Amino acid sequence: MADRGRPRSFDRDTALRAAMQTFWKLGYEGASMAELTRAMGINSPSLYACFGSKEGLFLEAARLYLDIENGDTKNTLFGEPNARDGIRALLQHSARSLSRPDFPHGCMLILGDTNSSARNDNIRRYLAEWRREAQAGFEQRLRRGIEDGDVPAQADVKGIAAFYMTVLQGLSLRARDGASRQALLQVVNAAMSAWDALATQKAEKRSRPAIGTSG
């Protein structure tokens, strides 16, 4: 009780940034408490007192990651004159960011819950929701393209968005595996070469099967 009013002996922002780097490199489950406290320069009681839990620490680290790494994503996606160039610019930006030599490779929010166990379902749901929002951003840009006339009105917006979100996730995994920046940019070029075929393919009508039918 006597220590209640004693100020912290560490810088919270510095410690949080160190935790972010650890989660980014190792994922949620891969980052043990021992590794986190060592990287942050604090002990376990201080971590719990300041951040509440490992989960609380991760969620704060994820928000910091979003502030630092994804701050200009929307501007990149919507800053080009048409949807095709906006998506290309975003993927190229991601390829460069994911392969920087002085940072962990890959995206913390795409790879952070790899092989996550059931006991960490809150983390899995949080990251899955972020990935859904990222795909929704592609959809939003495509709908803007339809309004502007550079995307066909009958284009399969959800299908195209899912394709390029899958490319983005693949870039992250390839970067984590050590692919070079040039190799990642080549993937982007290949993905954008599919644009014309994707944009001109009409969305399929997905009707629910009649009651009593199979399949």
Task: Give the pLDDT means over successive 10-residue stretches in the chain (215 positions).
Answer: 50 95 94 96 94 95 91 88 97 95 92 75 91 96 97 96 97 96 98 96 58 42
Predicted confidence at residue 113, as pLDDT, reads 82
Residue whose C-alpha is closest to residue 184's, from 79, 107, 102, 83: 107
Say how many Å lie between the first and final Cα of the chain, rounded. 65
pLDDT at position 119 is 75
Q: Give the helix/strand (H/E) hosting 205.
A: none
pLDDT at 208: 47
pLDDT of residue 211: 45
Q: What is the pLDDT of residue 24?
A: 95
Structural domains in the chain, CATH included, are: 12-65 (1.10.10.60), 71-200 (1.10.357.10)
pLDDT reported for residue 215: 37
Residue in the block written with tokens 């996550």: 116
| pTM score of the predicted model | 0.85
Measured from the Cβ of residue 10, the count of other Cβ atoms closer than 10 Å reads 16
Cβ atoms of 112 and 27 within 8 Å: the answer is yes
